[in-house]
Amino acid sequence: MTHSNQQNSPPPDTKRQNTSVSPSLSGTNTEPTISPLSASEASTRLKQAVEAVSKKLFDKQPQIRLAFACLLAEGHLLIEDRPGLGKTTLALAMAQALGLDHKRIQFTSDMLPSDILGVSIYHRENEQFVFHKGPIFTQLLLADELNRGTPRTQSALLEAMAERQVSVDGTTWPLQKPFFVIGTQNPLDESGTFPLPDSQLDRFSLSISLGYPSRAAEKRLYQPEHLLAMKQPLEPVLNGADLLTAQRLAAKVHAEETLVDYLQDLLLASREHSDIITGLSPRAGLALFRVAQALAFLDQRHYLVPEDVQDAFVPVARHRLASRSGQHKGEQLARGILHNTPLR
């Protein structure tokens, strides 16, 4: 999407394809050098990163572990929760612990796609359009309150999430690697929200809900030492190159054929369920497999066990399943499928 001031509008014969990128951004390296980390060292450092983030977000170890597994699986994470429960804290702490460049976009109903992707501005002095990159050009993007943006603005994320690139004015710009989106959405019963379409929900590998803290964990929030610690950034345990190496290593985790059959049985059960409108897609199946691999890698294993698939299934499926009767939530449907599908 192009914005230009009326007084700087180009002459009629100016070619739109004569476009350059802002000098400050033209040299951005989209992929760091691969790190020589071993599988054991990579999983150990990731475990340290999980523990570091857990010091910022009390009592949420399972959700933090799933968030790291999602990143390790080269997916994107959706957090569905009420405001004020730690979604932004989780995103910032992950970026700090992993040494990633990060940005935050606060979605509003008047936001435009160019506010996310960037804008081409005509420069009369050199008679060309210069593309100024938007906040999506980062490694970890927090898309906060995503469902407060209009469908048109929400769709600006689709290509970036799927292809790791954006297209503006006929030019394709690659994104940095790794690239990880954490999208948050408020409950749909709140005013001023626009439901995310199925095509966008399916781009999120898994979804989690942080929920309220326990009484003991919430009491710790008020202690002076914690308030001071919250202001201090975490020391990075890894960097972008280390994370790319870990992602490649996690993708090599071995799965026995019986576990692949079990995974497919779960997918088939969702497709044959009488109360589910649309069953899980092959993309969802691939996300389930990759997240299960990532969970195994975080546990320092080079092979899958049934618990990896089971731990990944509900977070992968809950935001993708809708009840035909309207009597069940996606998480209830997913847990029912998991309970009723035996491991052969």
* 54: pLDDT strictly greater than 50: yes
The neighbour count for residue 278, using CB atoms within 10 Å, is: 13
Q: Is residue 1 part of a domain?
A: no
pLDDT average, residue stretch 131-143: 93
Q: Are residues 228 and 258 in the same domain?
A: no
Q: What integer pLDDT is reported at residue 154 of this predicted model?
A: 86
Q: Are residues 159 and 264 in the same domain?
A: no
Mean pLDDT rounded to a whole number for the chain: 87
Domain boundary among 217, 235, 250: 250
Could you tell me where the DSSP H helices lie in the chain? 39-54, 61-72, 87-98, 114-117, 151-154, 158-163, 198-201, 215-221, 224-231, 240-250, 257-272, 282-298, 306-317, 330-340
Q: What integer pLDDT is reported at residue 18 of this predicted model?
A: 46
Domain boundary among 250, 283, 311: 250
**Band of residue 26 on the pLDDT scale cut at 50, 70, 90:** very low
Supply φ then ψ for residue 217, to 5 degrees: -65, -40
3-state secondary structure of 271: helix
Domain count, the chain: 2
Q: Are residues 268 and 122 in the same domain?
A: no
C-alpha angle with apex 23: 8 to 141, nearest 5 degrees?
A: 100
Q: Are residues 156 and 213 in the same domain?
A: yes
**Bridge partner list, 141:** 103, 181
Q: Are residues 265 and 244 in the same domain?
A: no
The token pair that represents 292 in the structure block: 């299960």
Q: Are residues 49 and 158 in the same domain?
A: yes
Helix (H) or strand (E) holding 206: strand 206-208
The token pair that represents 299 in the structure block: 């546990």
CA gap 105, 118 in Å, rounded: 13
* 227: pLDDT strictly greater than 60: yes
Q: Are residues 123 and 56 in the same domain?
A: yes
Peptide bond into 224 cis (omega under 30): no
What's the pLDDT tens digit per position in 151-200? 888 888 888 898 899 888 888 889 999 999 999 987 765 556 778 888 88
Strands 180-185 and 206-208: unpaired
Q: Are residues 335 and 229 in the same domain?
A: no
Q: Are residues 138 and 170 in the same domain?
A: yes
Q: Are residues 167 and 295 in the same domain?
A: no
pTM above 0.95, yes or no: no
Domain that holds residue 268: 253-344
* 305: pLDDT strictly greater than 90: yes
Packing angle between helix 39-54 and helix 61-72, nearest 10 degrees? 140
* 6: pLDDT strictly greater than 50: no
What dihedral do alpha carbons 1, 8, 124, 17 form, nearest 10°?
A: 30
Q: What integer pLDDT is reported at residue 268 of this predicted model?
A: 97
